[in-house]
A and B are shown apart, each in its own frame.
Chain A
Amino acid sequence: MNKFILAMLTISPLAIATAQDAAPTPAASPDVEGLRQQVQALTETVKALQQQVKDQQGKIDQINQQSAQNPQSPEPSPIAAAVASPSQTPSGSGSARFPTEDASVVSSSAGPLTSPAPGVTANAAAPPGSFPTTDTSVVSSAGETSPVAPAAPSLTAPITIGGGKNYMNISFDGLFALAYSSARDLNQIEVGDHDPQQRGFNARNIELAFDGAVDPYFEGFANIVFKLDNDNETSVEVEEAFMQTTDLPFNLQLKGGQFFAAFGRINPTHPHTWDFADDPLVHGLFLGPDGLRGVGGQLSWVVPVPWYSQLILGVQNGRGSTGFSFRNPGDNGIFFDRMTTDREMRGLEDFVWVPRWENSVDLSPTQVVLVGASGAFGSNDTGSNTRTQIYGGDFLYKWKSARAEGGFPFVKWQTEVMYRRFEAGRGMDDTFPVAETFHDWGMYSQVLWGFKKGWVVGVRGDYVNMQDSRFTDDPDRQSRSRVSADLTWYPTEFSKLRLQYNHDFLQENFLLPGRDVDSVFFQFEFILGSHGAHKF
């Protein structure tokens, strides 16, 4: 481009100079007459040429329109367009029986093979675009780079979705539910913040997700959730926003930002990937309605053993409702009926530390097992020096047919067990009558059967045992159990319709009466934008 401009700059003064030379020449009249005739002839020629160009342009436009109108038809497809291909004109020659102009093929009966790719040497990796065949019906046109290569580095290029020609993948997900429950306080029955929270329609999880490579060293991910509360007011959550390394040695990876703690199987995943319309009880009651997530860092290491084994250590502030069992001041400064301290961090012990170890083996080419153990350790706000420990174990078994279409049929069994030791203090000003330590435990187990392409039926059992408190009637401390069944139809990967039935038992305890609740949810979801990959 620069060279071209330079050339233009050099040429134009010359042209001006010659024009100036020509103009002031005093001309005799016969000469003028001759020139006039010449000019007239030239003008006519130019006119004729212009008309020709116009006609040709019209024809080109016509052709372009035709090919644009039926892009799916086989005729104008890029390969069929290789008109030189002998396939279009069957010839009697034995050497040109099939549709290629690849010299290495068509000449094979005539003579010895020649190397079809000039410039490709045995010891060099192929530069993109250089290709081992001369068949233009196969190879992309010269100069065209790989279809997956990033777009030309232009900062002004618009972000387009799809095709790998953008620097960021964007997707939008809308998750809605129509709910009925025999309980008027559905928000007390459902434990997850993105679960249906009222009779009628719910829009608790409308999210924007962004991801992409930041540079050769990092990749970035962000998930912004818009949530409509029961009064249809919108609140915004920065659910996740983190960067992680891509290029550390020794199978290490560092992650930093706001993210879901790697605890168990449900916690690190987003609600729209769940197999049921609501959160398992143990997850919502132990790790919190929004899951255990926060600003922090995480180091993970894929252990160099012959099976899949990964060690993860995360650290987060663990403060607020997303650090539910930890430094959580609670609603209106009350947690487990105690006035909370809501103190500033004193030292490393006030972080939440989240170690995890997960292992997986293939039992057979169609069966996989994954087993994990997690922990979450930190302080809580119910006393001046009170601690919380949560231990978790998770198990996943999956069978998928060797002839699976669209990922179906499959059977998936997932179970998580958690135990929580919670030192409940005497509150901010030691006014609560007792300090006590709660030993709570709970689990859920679910089986999903994808019986037909797009169709999944599931059952789930939930159980949470809360140790009776001597002085609290906090509904969060009521022992619970639940059975659920659901039927999901995925018309494609990008939409989902789900019908779910829940039966809840709320058990009587020291202060709270027991009751039974029936609920029915109809969940529907759509996804726009980039194709999210499925984690295992």
Chain B
Amino acid sequence: MKKTQLILFTILAAAASASAKLNVVATLPDFGSLAREIGGDKMNLVILAKPTEDPHFVDARPSFVVSLRNADVLIDGGAELEIGWLPPLLQNARNPKIEVGKPGRVQASQGIRLMNVPTNVTRAAGDVHALGNPHFMSDPIIAKAIAQHIAQSFSALDSANAGFYEGNYKKFEATINAKLQEWGAAMLPFKGQNVVAYHDSWPYFAHRFGLNIDIFLEPKPGIPPSPSHLTEVIAQMKAQHIKAIIIEPFHDRRIAEKVASATGAKVVDFSQFPGGLPGTDSYMKLIDALVSRLGAALK
């Protein structure tokens, strides 16, 4: 009897807290970070993927179903990045509030012009995303756009705090605008330089800051580096005097280090996600870290 009471109490408590604050679920930590900028303490935030793991392959663990079932807002990429794990979770969560088209669903890629949309899709080209490259959050201007999307969604669902969300967005926008001057200035000396990446996650970052990131350790997206491909990369790097190889926390660092030692380049730890690098618990700090790390390596 006492147990039942306890369970009932827990349920009621959960229900009560649900009505007080927006329950926000973000599939990836970068979306979560934007949600935090906008929602502040007026929401409960759950981030599904860990900042250090490969966002293409996240386990659809049952506890995520519980988070999604209780969600008022779901922020996802919507460009096939989470296609391997989000659909069965949503199917199981049965939450009409976060269906596509409802204000509770923020699909970050909505309205964004994705880069490198393949003209025809074939898996012979590796893990190609039919809708275009989904790693768009490393462009701060795109991030700003998504932040406004989030603010609009929050305001629509919680109109009492609309002013708060709008104010937070304005703050975020102003910070990004100011920071862009700073980041732009820091990256300007390296304009047009070539950089090597492990996986093709950085076209938006490269575009924004005037770099060329067109050589990858992976021979094709999602295909592990082969010795013959690496030999080719090393030759290209030597010919073009490339100074930096950027890798993410879940990539095999030893491979990057081998290539680095053969070419004299530096391995630069990068991450798409706040929290993926030490001391980057917010989006601003992440881009700060990326810019300063890359700047240091290219100097």
Q: Which chain A residues border B138 with CB–CB below 8 Å?
A: none
In the complex the two chains form, what is the Cα distance from A284 to B270 in whole Å? 49
Contact A148 B79 (CB under 8 A): yes
Contact A146 B107 (CB under 8 A): yes
Q: Which chain A residues border B83 with CB–CB below 8 Å?
A: 531, 533
Contact A536 B59 (CB under 8 A): yes
B248 CB to nearest A CB, Å? 9
Q: B238 at the A/B interface (Cβ < 8 Å)?
A: no
Residue of B nearest to A107 (CB): B177
Contact B249 A403 (CB under 8 A): yes
Q: Which chain B residues border A403 with CB–CB below 8 Å?
A: 52-53, 249-250
Q: A117 at the A/B interface (Cβ < 8 Å)?
A: yes
Contact B113 A141 (CB under 8 A): yes
CB within 8 Å for A407 and B54 given contacts A78-B113, A79-B115, A137-B113? yes
B residues contacting the other copy or chain, number (CB 8 A): 99
Query: Which of B25-33, B181-189, B258-266 lies at the interface?
Result: B181-189
Contact of A138 among B112, B126, B173 (CB under 8 A): B112
Contact of B250 among A138, A302, A405 (CB under 8 A): A405
B251 CB to nearest A CB, Å? 6
In the complex the two chains form, what is the Cα distance from A78 to B115 in whole Å? 6
In the complex the two chains form, what is the Cα distance from A114 to B63 in whole Å? 43
Contact B207 A308 (CB under 8 A): no
Task: Mark B154-194 against chain A: 1 for CB-CB distance below 8 A, else 0.
Answer: 01100100110110001001100110110111011001000
Residue of A nearest to B222 (CB): A492
In the complex the two chains form, what is the Cα distance from A304 to B7 in whole Å? 10
In the complex the two chains form, what is the Cα distance from A150 to B85 in whole Å? 20
Which of B10, B103, B116: most chain A CB closer than 10 A? B116
Contact A87 B210 (CB under 8 A): yes
Task: Mark A317-358 against chain B: 1 for CB-CB distance below 8 A, else 0.
Answer: 000000000000000000000000000000000000000001
CB within 8 Å for A131 and B61 given contacts A306-B14, A403-B249, A531-B80? no
Chain A 99-147 residues near chain B, CB threshold 8 A: 99-100, 102, 104-105, 108-109, 113, 117, 120, 122-126, 128-133, 135, 137-141, 146-147
CB within 8 Å for A126 and B174 given contacts A147-B131, A248-B94? no
Q: B223 at the A/B interface (Cβ < 8 Å)?
A: yes
B292 CB to nearest A CB, Å? 16
Contact A123 B111 (CB under 8 A): no
Task: Mark B139-152 against chain A: 1 for CB-CB distance below 8 A, else 0.
Answer: 10110110011011
Q: Which chain B residues border A15 with CB–CB below 8 Å?
A: none
Contact B214 A148 (CB under 8 A): no
Query: Which of B117-125, B229-237, B278-286 lies at the interface?
Result: B117-125
Residue of B nearest to A88 (CB): B210
Contact of A305 among B7, B139, B177 (CB under 8 A): B7
Residue of B nearest to A96 (CB): B184
Contact A163 B121 (CB under 8 A): yes
Contact B91 A492 (CB under 8 A): no
Q: A247 at the A/B interface (Cβ < 8 Å)?
A: yes
Q: A246 at the A/B interface (Cβ < 8 Å)?
A: yes
Q: Which chain B residues border A128 with CB–CB below 8 Å?
A: 110-111
Q: A269 at the A/B interface (Cβ < 8 Å)?
A: no
Contact A102 B141 (CB under 8 A): yes
Q: Which chain B residues border A99 with CB–CB below 8 Å?
A: 207-208, 210
Q: Which size class do A's interface residues fall under?
A: 35 or more
Contact of B111 among A80, A139, A252, A370 (CB under 8 A): A139
Q: Which chain B residues border A71 with CB–CB below 8 Å?
A: 116, 118-119
Task: Mark B82-112 against chain A: 1 for CB-CB distance below 8 A, else 0.
Answer: 0111111001111010001001000101111
Q: A307 at the A/B interface (Cβ < 8 Å)?
A: yes
Q: B295 at the A/B interface (Cβ < 8 Å)?
A: no
B235 CB to nearest A CB, Å? 19
Contact B50 A402 (CB under 8 A): yes
In the complex the two chains form, what is the Cα distance from A391 to B288 in whole Å? 57
Contact of B127 among A98, A368, A492 (CB under 8 A): A492
Contact A453 B224 (CB under 8 A): yes
Task: Mark A477-499 against chain B: 1 for CB-CB distance below 8 A, else 0.
Answer: 00000000000000011100000
CB within 8 Å for A72 and B94 given contacts A147-B109, A531-B80, A536-B61? no
Contact B162 A123 (CB under 8 A): yes
Q: A40 at the A/B interface (Cβ < 8 Å)?
A: no
Could you name 6 residue pairs across A and B whose Cβ atoms are closer than 8 Å? Answer: A71-B116, A77-B207, A97-B184, A164-B130, A246-B91, A533-B83
With A139-B145, A246-B91, A407-B59 known, 11 other A-B pairs at CB within 8 A are A97-B185, A98-B188, A125-B103, A126-B110, A137-B207, A147-B132, A400-B59, A403-B52, A405-B251, A454-B224, A533-B87
Using CB atoms and an 8 Å cutoff, list the residues of chain B in contact with chain A. Answer: 7, 10-11, 14, 50, 52-54, 56-57, 59-63, 65-66, 69, 78-80, 83-88, 91-94, 96, 100, 103, 107, 109-119, 121, 123, 126-127, 130-132, 139, 141-142, 144-145, 148-149, 151-153, 155-156, 159, 162-163, 165-166, 170, 173-174, 177-178, 180-181, 183-185, 187-188, 191, 203-204, 206-210, 212, 214, 222-224, 249-252
